[in-house]
Each structure stands twice: as structure tokens, then as C-alpha cells.
Structure 1
Amino acid sequence: MIKKLFLCTLLVLGGFCRAQESDDPIDWLLDNDHYKAAIDMMDGDIVLGNGLVERRIKIAPNAATVDFRNLVTGEVMLRSIKPEAEVTINGETYAIGGLTGLPEHGYLLEEWLDGLTSIEDAFQYKSHTVRGMLPKIKWKGTKRYHTAEKTIPTGKELILSFERDTGETRGVLVKLHYEIYDGIPLIAKWITVENKSGKNITIDSFKSELLAFPEVENPVETPREWKRPNIHVESDYAFGGFTSGESNVTTFWEVDPEYTSQVNWKMETPCLLESKLKIGPDAALKSGEVFESFHTYELLLNGTDRARNALSIRKMYRTLAPWATENPIFMHLTTTDSDAVKSAVDQCVATGYEMVILSFGSGLDMEDTTATNISKFKELADYAHGKGIELGGYSLFSSRKIHDSVDVIDKDTGRPGGAKFLNAPCLASQWGKDYFEKLRYFLDKTGFDLLEHDGPYPGDYCASTTHTHHKGYEDSQWVQWNMTKQFYNWLREKDIYLNAPDFYFLQGSNKCGIGYREVNWSLPRDQQIILGRQNIYDGTWEKTPSMAWTFVPLTEYHGGGDAATLEPLREHLDSYEAHMVQNYGSGVQACYRGPRLFDSEITKALVIEQIAHYKKYRDILNSDILHLRRPNGRSWDGFMHVNPDLREKGFVLLFNPTKNEIRENIKIPLYYTGLVDRASVSDRQGKAEVLELDRNFEITLNVRIPAKGYSWYIIE
């Protein structure tokens, strides 16, 4: 029996969004096959829709978005009409499309639309085309384990073309691109500028999206923090953090000076969404060239329930970046000694691991493209491949000083420094371009399968006017981002796995850190385990398990001595097992950093057991996580995986950090397993029982969790 989504009454029960059963459409988070993207002409307007979201664009007397709806909740997202975009060319700012003449900007009546006029001097709508969605990155998806349903997202693309027939922009063609996706309430948007003017122009700045949202609250005075509409917005121009929020540098919630009837007496309500750059791009565009902006993604949310919104966001990443579902089992090797590398490869074969990463501090230098260095690492890669193991390694870009002529220049001092990591090279210097070329050469010639790239471009501006590949401060970030984008796209198309401590998923990255403080891995082992589980719990709300790595210090990392490390492994099997259980049980790979995976037969047996268990349940352990209780050290904590498409529809993993056994009845939410009436629940000993779901789609599970231990349950 399939759950249906009751559109009018979404009930939040027990912390999760529950849908009543009816004959209404199927909940897209359980089964989204029925929601196909379409772009049609309706009553003279262009309508993008898929049954979950709808955007209507009026095209006369100029093109403008006049309706934007969440079809799951029925929410109307717009209160006013703005230009479809803005572009500043040679110092002059032009609206792209848009309509003017509204008597009110706090709400929008349908009967007002026919009386609106085009914005003076705006680029005018000329034509449009519709086509199938084109892949941004050509990912094969055939080299290693992943859970992606599709290798490329599917849907439809709308392209609106605009021109001005007078002035110095005559011959400049602006195109607005919209994508609507199958099976998810998601719309993407970006702009391209084609210079057919016969002369050079400069794209000083742009706003690729302007949407006037209703305010979520109406404070007369100014609150300390404003609430946002039920929409998640991010772009593929993202860096500087381990989460989309930390790395989002293009989404701005601005005040709307036209909205004079708002309640806030200072008219400071930030209810105008603008997608833009803070500075730049200051891009020179020769005649015949085409400029393309970053891509903005707008995901409509179904309410304020954290669990449901997190599931929606993770569904978006699986759709846009299917390569991020790759999740090889890897270790971090601390040496590049040939015999030690081969021994580590052999240990991987013996235990079921799939990849060796030559870690930071191992001695690997990918910038060394001498024949001797290439030959050494090609021989090691060939040895690993012959055993069915992938091999890759680490390279540092940021957090180092190269030379005053190469490094990022601070705008205020005119000297090197002022970067996010104090000193950093400028990627748009000749050194930076050569650095990427060396990495390409090394990876291509050695056959390495992975790059762990420390310091993917973190958003530094550079005020140098002598670097080869950027003009100055205003274009520096844009140029460096494009260079990184091209390199990371190349890695993905070559099927070279990419770990990067930054949010480049939409440009080809596979994995970033789950979010942890590095020096915490120098704390005593028992503290590391609970803190590590907190990291997992907190770091998997908006990232899928496969998108994150965590850490296990087999050898000393930032200090802490013997109390912090697992070596010798045979003497700390309890801690080694605890790390593996919570990491593999969450589907989050860890950097097991050290010289070996096992040091005795008993250690080897432990690793084999854990990897065999992980592989047996790999599909469900790489499925979505629901958060049951955050670790607090005083009671049980845990999470569960859910997947309505698998035989194992749920996997519950519970931990007991206390010194006493826990016996308790726990409510387990099963809505997102797709189960409706009853569930078969098996514990780790194989004992099964059938339990009835209550009206909240929950079961009551009687659990026993041993002291300082764990328990797990399979739900079918």
C-alpha cells in the first residue's frame, strides 16, 4: 500500500511530517516517478511545472515571473513582480525583462497584470526555446560503488532571449535559462550574455534572479534575526565551508524599497531574494564571446519540519550531484614508502577495503612531475589496480606562502596576506595555472584514482594587477572560481574521486568533511568516540552519508599521545570497533589515518567482520538518515536509515554511552520507510517480530542496549 500526500493538512507528529492517506498525489519523498517536468504555453504565458512546483512567466509586453507556487502545500510564493534579471554592462545597469505599474507590492491581484507595462530601457523579450535538460558534467558512474538512480538529472530547460535595439548594447543578446526537474520541487536559473555587438564589452556585475517573497513575520520593530520563506536557495558558486550555509556567497535577502506598505516601520524587511556576486565579475567579453553566470537552485520546502526539509535537501544533492553518492571504503596511509604502500594495498584486499589515500604528511608531492616521481607512483598505482584497489593522494593548495609575486595581495595593504588562511597563492597567477597543469599531468600519467585537494579555492580576492590571468581585485574571485570549476569538472569526467574540504559538490566534488574540530582527535579515545558520533548526527542533516568524511587517528594527529591514538591496534580493539560501528553504521567513511589497518590476526578479524557487515547492508546504510536522538552521554542515542525502495526499508542503530545496560521502549518513526500497516523487525541476533504501525506511522520497539555498547535492528 502506497502512502498518498494529503495536500491540505500536513500534520507534524512526533517531530516528523506525517501525511494522511487519501486519493491525492503520492508523497514525492516516497515515490517521485509521477512528477514529470513540463514547459507549456497557457493563455499566452509560459508555465514551468512538474506537479510539485509551478512558475508562470508572462511574456507580453515583456517577460516577467507573475506566479511561483508550491503545489505540495498550495503556498503562493510571490507578492510582487521584479525584473527577471539585471546586468551591468560598461557601467550601465539594465533590467532584463520585468513589468512595472503595480499599485501595491504587498500582494498581487490577477486583474492588475494586463495593465502593466515594460520597464523603460529594459532588455526586451524576443523569443524562447524549450529543450531537454543537458548534462552539466558527464559522469559515467561505472567505476565504483554508488547509489545514484540516474547519472544525470532529467527535466526540461526554458531559454528566454532578450535584446535592446538601441544604444551601445545593440547586438548584445541576453538569455535567461530556467530548468525544472523531474520528481523534485526544484527550479534552476542562470544567465548567458552573447556579445554580437562587434566591439568589446565588460560585464561589471549581474543579478541572475530577483524574486519578491511575502514576509514570514511582520515585526514593527527590527528583530535580531529575520525568518525566511519556505525555500532553500544555493548556487554552484560555493566555497569557504563544509555546509551549504557556510559556503553560500551568492544568495542575498535584501530590502525592497518599492514595498512601502510593509509593517516594519523602517521598511527593513529582507523579503527580496537576489542571486548575485558580492564583487565582480568584471568580465571582459570580446565580440563573438559568451559569458555564463553561476547557476542558482531554488528548492521549495513543504514547511518547517526539520527532518522533512533535510530529506528534501539531500534529495536535491542526489539529483544534481549523483556522483556524491559514490562512497568507496578507504584508509589514509601516512607513508609513501613503496613496500609500505604495497603492504597497505594487500591489507585492503584482505579486509575488503577499496581505496588507499596517500595522506598529508606521507611524502607525496603531485607537483613533482619528474620522470622518476611519475614512474614510482605509476608503479604503485599499477600494483594497486592489479589487486582491485584504487590509489590516490593528497595535495595542498592554500595555507602556504609561495612568493610575493604569486600570493594573494591584500587590497588594503597592497602586500601578500589577508587571505582566509592568512597566506595563499593566487590561482589566477601563472604559478596557479601551472599548479593545476602539474596535477593534471601527474594524475593522468600515474593513473591515480583519487585527489584529496586541501584548499580548493576558498573565495579569496586578490588585488594584484600583475598576475597573468586576472586584471585586478574585482575579477579575481570570479576567474579563480572558473579555473577551479574547469579542473574539478575534468576530474569528474575522468572518474577521479575528489575529496575536498569545501562545498564544490555541484562542480564535481564527491566528499567534504562532516564538520569537526581537528584538535578534538587529540582527546582521549572515549571522548573522541562520543564527540565523533555527535559530529555524525549533526553533519548528516543536509549532507547524505556519502557526502562526508570523518576521522580516526590510528596514529597521533595533533597531539594527545598514547591516550588519543589507537596504535597499537590490538591493544585498543574496543575503541577501534566503536569507531567502525558508528562510522560504517552511519554510512560515513572515516580517514583511518595510520600505517596499517591491522597489526595482528585478532585485529584483522575485527576489521573483516565490520567491513563484511557494512557491505552486507551497504545499500540501506548509504540511504537517508533520520535523527532519533543526539548523543549526550547520559542516555541512549542513535539514528536510522530509511529507503522505501529496498527490501531492508530501515536500519536502526542505537548506542549506550553509560555504564549500565539500557532497557527501554522507544518510538521508531517509519513513515519514510514507506511501510503503512506493519513491520518485521529483526535484531542483531536475527530474532524477528512483527509490529503494528500506529496512526503516526510509528512502532514501539523494546530495546536492550548493553553498557558502553550498541544494538541494531533491520526493518522490513
Structure 2
Amino acid sequence: MRNSTLVIFMFIANVFCFAQETKKDWLLNNSDYTAEIVQHGNDLILRNGLVSRTLRIEPNVATIEFRNSTTGESMLRSIKPEAEVSINDKTYAVGGLFGLKEHGYLLEEWIDGLAADSASFKYDTHTIEDIKPKLNWNSAKRYHTAAPSVPKGKALILQFKHHSRELKDIIVNVHYEIYDGIPLLSKWISLENNTNKPIQISGFKSEILAFPETENYVETPKRWRRPNMHVESDYSFGGFTSGESETSIFWEQDPEYTSQVNWLLQTECLLTSTLKVGPAVALDPKSTFTSFRTYELLQDGSDRERNSLAIRRMYRLLAPWATENPIFMHLTTTDPKKVKTAIDQCVATGYEMVILSFGSGLNMEDNSTGNIEKFKKLADYAHANGIELGGYSLFSSRKIDDSVDVIDKDTGKPGGAKFGNAPCLASEWGHSYLEKLKYFLEKTGFDLLEHDGPYPGDYCASTTHKYHKGYEDSQWVQWNITKDFYHWLKKKDIYLNAPDFYYLQGSNKCGIGYREVNWSLPRDQQIILGRQNIYDGTWEKTPSMAWTFVPLTEYHGGGAAATLEPLNEHLDSYEAHMAQNYGSGVQACYRGPRLYDTDTTKSLVLEQIAHYKKYRDILNSDIIHLRRPNGRTWDGFMHVNPQLEEKAFVMFFNPTSKNIEEKIEVPLYYTGLDDTALISEKGGNPITSKLNRKYGSEIKVRIPANGYTWFVVK
């Protein structure tokens, strides 16, 4: 009896171990997690082995399960409509099951007893198809690390109709996408007006989910903890991160949840995707309205690095163009002779792009023959030498005219925009501005636009602007105009720098996150602060998604102490900037009239660029944050990529005036290595290192005073 019991126990243990071994960590190898949409009776299930969402389709559609398949956590406590639409000043639920008496938890046996609301849009039919590309992007034009270049997965479209006479020819479609290899779903709605007259869409909610609270406060706290997931939309602007710029994702109170602990029923446990104002769209007959998209990324723990790696993986999937990372300089002049000299210097050192900076004299709004010819000749010269050329255009933060500028709702006068005055993109002037930029870019052959605005998403109360009606539709209209323009840029293979969070609408790069006046501080302060910016700015951005700054010439003041010119007199600072910028994979705006002034300076730039290009793939891989710069001891970061020969690239910096010698344990889990690693310092002979049970390896590090060192792991 004991022997048979032992055999059974060993069999179960072996099966468990085999299951553990075959269940791959999706951040290391996601090939087993293929999206599918299946129907079991009245349930439609979107699943990929990492996340699943179950929709009951009778007597109406409602999400009855939202599960984190990695942790086994059920993310729902109650059932809500799939969407809401406000048509002709009346709000209607889209789908939903009603009759729950408890909203703090959900028992399976309750679901069959729920009913559809006769006043809601009711499920009619559905289709399942492969995910279609959102933007046209030419992945062959410049260096990138996107793989694949188009997200793969499955899409579900649910069609809803209404029984009433006035709404019978209006169709609401609810769209879902589930992706291969990542615990991510997206959702949005579209509305078809098949009537013979316009209808007014005053508002909508494209997602409504009742999540369990993660904290129970009797009294209301200043801040609520959110469920273990990342949610954002492609309707984002007004910041350098998704948290700063999110304008459509809200965590709200649920008035139906009357059994919650909070005495005033103020627990923020209802996720809604909606607009603060609008859209106030008059939808013409035979036309379709489409909302923004919401993205929901489930996370499997509380580790900050792991959760941010998941977010970065999401951006690599949804915005593959943001993995493009050309090596560029910011040129402060448009004098043709000096531009050609800068292009020649780029060719000589391995740079790939010249950006005509703010203050250089470039004016893309000037469509005169002379201006077009001048910059076309320069673009032709750049292209003949294998260099891309582009430039800067300011939209926001300036005043045009009282008839053009954003009108403040409270005063009825220009002003009140995020940065004071700003033109309204939905004015006739705004339309003309974009048409001038398109004409300039096409006629000159420019490869890049650095677009300073209209990122604030300012509301405009004007009732005389040609392309919007008033305050309620102004932000929605301006966002759509911006989105369409950025999609046009992608179609034309024009790289887009924008100091805003438009990645999911075609932007390639945004600022790393810095205070501009800090670049007027003394050079030594800039270096450590710049490395802090890199450390902080790469938690939720990949290296290619951000730019930082290097003031070769004076910027925001500071005089000679703040600038690198003359370059040959400040080679130590120049090298320090390049080492940490290129070592992190973050391109910088090297803003000045030239890249080098002497042969010695040229040699330094050549060395740094050659090093960067040698390790370019791993340096464009995600960063593991080792220690934030504090000026008192070493700091560092590490790139990891289990798909490459170089599994990791580690950089250590010493901001102190003394040499540092120390044994440092480097965490190598996300390299995919599980037993041994070959570690070499500065490309020297590798040393075999055994990984410990935490997948770490201890290495002896020597960092010179005010210097740096680096290691490659294979």
C-alpha cells in the first residue's frame, strides 16, 4: 500500500513539475500564448492563456468574467452594460444584464436568473476576424527593433440594435481585440446612422467594468489603490507619460454597490472609458461614428520592474513605429553652407539625421517658391549622402489672432489654454496651418517633423470657428484632426517627434521628462541630473520612445559654464553625456552648430557612435533599473533581451571623486539565462559566472572616479 501511494505521489509531483516547466514566462518567451475567440453555448470567450474575458450573449450581452489567467484572479465583482450611448439627449445602455441584488461579489448561479433591460440596445449578431493594422507604417525605412511590425490576434465585433421606432435604424457595434503573447485586450465602439436624418451623439461610455476594491476604507482616503492592471487609451495628450496625459480613463464610484465598507459609498471601483466633455457629434445619415480605443493590460504581481516591462512590451506591440531610433543632431541654423557642413559631419561620424531646431530660422508655414526650393536642395543634398533631414514647427504656446485663438469658456475671450494662448486647430487658420505643413513636407522631401503642439487638448468655446461648433465638441474635433494628420505622417514615412503622449496615434518619440531650465545649470550637474532623467523616464518608455537633451550651445541661459562649446575644451563632459545617452539607448538633442570642432573631438564622437552601433540591438532593448543616481555612490542600469546573442548590457557610473571597487550582484532573470553567464568587461575576455537561485550573478566592478564602465553578458 505504501509503495503504490508513493508511486501515485511521485506521478502527481512529476506532472506538476512538467506543467510548471512548460508554462513559459511570457516576458521571456510568449510563443505559446495564441489568442482565440471561442463560443461555448451562450458564452463567447476571448482568451490567450494569459487573460480571458467571457461574454454572455443571452438574453443580452454582458461581461460575466474577466480573468487573469496567470494568477487565477477574477477581476469582476458585478455586471454592468458593455457600453452606453447618448443619442438625441437620451442615454441608452448597450447590452447588460440586470437584476443583481448584490454588487460586492458575483455568484455563478445568479447569472442565469438575470434579465435584459427592454430599454437597452440588444445583441443581434457577431463576427470574429483577425486583427487589422491600425496605421500604415513602412518598417523598412530606418532602424527599428519591432517584431512583429503588426499586432497579431483576434477581433470580435458585437452588433446591437434597438426595438424602438426612432432607433431601429441605428446600429451600435462593440469591438474587442485580444492579442497574441500578452495579457492585453482593447475595446471601443462604433455607431452607424442608417436613418435619413442626422442624430446627435452627446456622449458615450465605451467601457464600464466593476472591479473589486483593493482596499477597504471606512473613511474616504486621499488616494485609492487600483486593481493590478494598466489601463490607457489612444485619446491621450497633455503630458510626457500616460499617467499625465490620460484624459479618458476614469475610476468612479458605483452607486449600485451599497454593501461596500466605505461609509459614504465613495469607493472608486468602477472603470469607465468616456470623455469629460462631448463629443457632441452630429452624425449624418449613412455615416459612422467611432470612439477612441481603451487598452487593458493585466499584470501578475506588484514588482515595479516587471509591471513596467509589461507596459513597455505593450507599446512595442501597439506602436511598433516607436521602436525606430535614428541617431540625430539638433542644428541651430538654416544657413545652407552650415547645414551642408553639419550633414557632412553626420556622414563622417555615423549620424543618420539632422533636425533643424527651434530658433534655427526654419518656417514650414512659408510655402513660397524660394523657401521650398531652399530646403528641397538641402534635403536632396542630405539624401544624396544617406542622411535624413527634418525640422521643428511650433503650433501651441503662441497667439495668432482673437478670431483664431482658443476661447476661454468662462471669460469668452482668448486665453485660458494650458500654456496661456494657443490657436484652435479646428479654426480655418488651424486647417490652413496643417495644409501648409503637408505641402512643405511633400515638396521638400523632409523626413521628420518635430511638432510642438497641439498637445494640450485645449477646449475652445468659440462658436465661429469653421470646423467645430462650440465648447462641447472642440476637444474631440481637434483630437481627430491631430490624429488624422499624424496618421498621414506615418503613411508618408515621416518621423514624428512630439512633446506629448501620441504614441498610439503615430508619434515616434517624446521627451524623457526633464525641466528645460536645468540645462542652464553647470555641466557637472547636468550630467547627473540627465542620468536621473534617463533612469526615471525609462520605467514606462522603451529607450527609443524618448529623447533627452545636450546643450552644445547656450540654452535657457547659464553661459559658458552650462555649454559644451568650444567642444574640444570640454571633451570630458561631451563624453559623459554621450556615454550615458547612447549607453541607455536614449537619443539626445545635441543642439548646436556642429558635432565636432577638432580632430580630437571628431575621434571622440566616432568612438561613441561606433560603440553604440556595435551594440545597437541590445542598447535599444528594455532597461532594468539597478540604482538611481544620488551622487554618493555608484548608479547604473542594464539592458536585457533573451532573444539576442548579447543577453544583457550593463552600465555602471561613478559620480564621486574616488575610485569605486565593489562586488555587485546583477539580476539576470530577464536575460533568459538560467544556469551560467559569460560576462566580459568592455569587450574583454569573458568570465563564466554561475547564476544563483535568484538568477543573479555577482561581478567585481571597478569604476574610475567621475567615470563609468560597462559589461556585456552572453
- Aligned residue number for residue 647 of structure 2: 649
Query: How much is the aligned-residue C-alpha RMSD, in angstroms?
Result: 1.0
Shift of 1:685: 5.3
Distance in 2 (CA, whole Å) between partners of 1:605 and 1:640 is 26
Distance in 2 (CA, whole Å) between partners of 1:170 and 1:524 is 68
The alignment covers a number of residue pairs equal to 698
TM normalised by structure 2 equals 0.97
- Aligned residue number for residue 475 of structure 2: 477
SS in 1 for 2:702: strand
TM normalised by structure 1 equals 0.97
Shift of 1:539: 0.2
CA deviation map 1:620-674 (0-9, x unaligned): 0000100000000000000000000000000000000001000011110000000
Distance in 2 (CA, whole Å) between partners of 1:595 and 1:167 is 69
Matched, 1:321 2:316: no
Shift of 1:152: 1.1
Shift of 1:344: 0.2
Distance in 2 (CA, whole Å) between partners of 1:363 and 1:491 is 23
Which residue identity is paired with 2:388? E
Matched, 1:564 2:565: no
- Counting only pairs closer than 5 Å after superposition, residues 66-85 of structure 1 correspond to structure 2 as 66-85=64-83
Q: Name stretches of at least 5 consecutive residues in structure 1 with no aligned partner.
A: 1-18
Distance in 1 (CA, whole Å) between partners of 2:539 and 2:683 is 30
Distance in 2 (CA, whole Å) between partners of 1:688 and 1:300 is 39
4+ runs of 1 displaced by more than 3 Å? none
Which residue identity is paired with 2:198? N
Which residue identity is paired with 1:529? I
The equivalent position to 2:255 in structure 1, one of 247, 254, 257, is: 257
- Aligned residue number for residue 664 of structure 2: 666
Using the TM superposition, name which of 146-155 and 575-584 deviates more: 146-155
The equivalent position to 1:604 in structure 2, one of 593, 602, 605, is: 602
SS in 2 for 1:362: coil
Which residue identity is paired with 2:159? S
- Counting only pairs closer than 5 Å after superposition, residues 49-64 of structure 1 correspond to structure 2 as 49-64=47-62
Which residue identity is paired with 2:406? V
Shift of 1:493: 1.3
Identity of aligned residues (%): 70
SS in 1 for 2:55: strand
Matched, 1:595 2:593: yes
Shift of 1:103: 2.3
Distance in 2 (CA, whole Å) between partners of 1:456 and 1:521 is 24
Q: Name stretches of at least 5 consecutive residues in structure 2 with no aligned partner.
A: 1-16
Distance in 1 (CA, whole Å) between partners of 2:198 and 2:393 is 38
Which residue identity is paired with 2:490? R
- Aligned residue number for residue 38 of structure 2: 40
The equivalent position to 1:357 in structure 2, one of 339, 355, 358, is: 355
Asked whether the equivalents of residues 457 and 480 of structure 1 are also in contact (C-alpha less than 8 Å), the reply is no
Distance in 1 (CA, whole Å) between partners of 2:131 and 2:661 is 53
- Counting only pairs closer than 5 Å after superposition, residues 673-688 of structure 1 correspond to structure 2 as 673-684=671-682, 686-688=684-686
The equivalent position to 1:500 in structure 2, one of 498, 501, 505, is: 498
SS in 2 for 1:534: helix
CA deviation map 1:224-255 (0-9, x unaligned): 21100011000000000000000001011001
- Counting only pairs closer than 5 Å after superposition, residues 75-474 of structure 1 correspond to structure 2 as 75-474=73-472
Matched, 1:702 2:700: yes
Which residue identity is paired with 1:471? K
SS in 2 for 1:313: helix
Which residue identity is paired with 1:301? Q
- Aligned residue number for residue 14 of structure 1: none
CA deviation map 1:321-341 (0-9, x unaligned): 000000000000000000000
The equivalent position to 1:546 in structure 2, one of 544, 547, 554, is: 544
Which residue identity is paired with 2:305? A
SS in 2 for 1:576: helix
Distance in 2 (CA, whole Å) between partners of 1:221 and 1:429 is 47
Shift of 1:455: 1.4
SS in 1 for 2:472: helix
SS in 2 for 1:491: helix
Shift of 1:21: 9.4
Asked whether the equivalents of residues 425 and 454 of structure 2 are also in contact (C-alpha less than 8 Å), the reply is no
Which residue identity is paired with 2:510? C
Asked whether the equivalents of residues 683 and 712 of structure 2 are also in contact (C-alpha less than 8 Å), the reply is no
Shift of 1:22: 2.8
Matched, 1:510 2:502: no
Which residue identity is paired with 1:586? S
Distance in 2 (CA, whole Å) between partners of 1:359 and 1:82 is 50
SS in 1 for 2:202: strand
CA deviation map 1:245-288 (0-9, x unaligned): 00001011001011111111111100000000000000010110
SS in 1 for 2:112: helix
CA deviation map 1:449-479 (0-9, x unaligned): 0000011332100000000000000000000
CA deviation map 1:528-547 (0-9, x unaligned): 00000000000000000000
Distance in 1 (CA, whole Å) between partners of 2:261 and 2:165 is 41
CA deviation map 1:37-82 (0-9, x unaligned): 1011013210000110000000000000000000011110000000
Which residue identity is paired with 1:292? T
Distance in 1 (CA, whole Å) between partners of 2:320 and 2:439 is 26
Distance in 2 (CA, whole Å) between partners of 1:458 and 1:233 is 21
Shift of 1:170: 2.0
CA deviation map 1:677-703 (0-9, x unaligned): 010000015032111000000011110
Asked whether the equivalents of residues 510 and 545 of structure 2 are also in contact (C-alpha less than 8 Å), the reply is yes
Distance in 1 (CA, whole Å) between partners of 2:706 and 2:278 is 55
Which residue identity is paired with 2:167? T
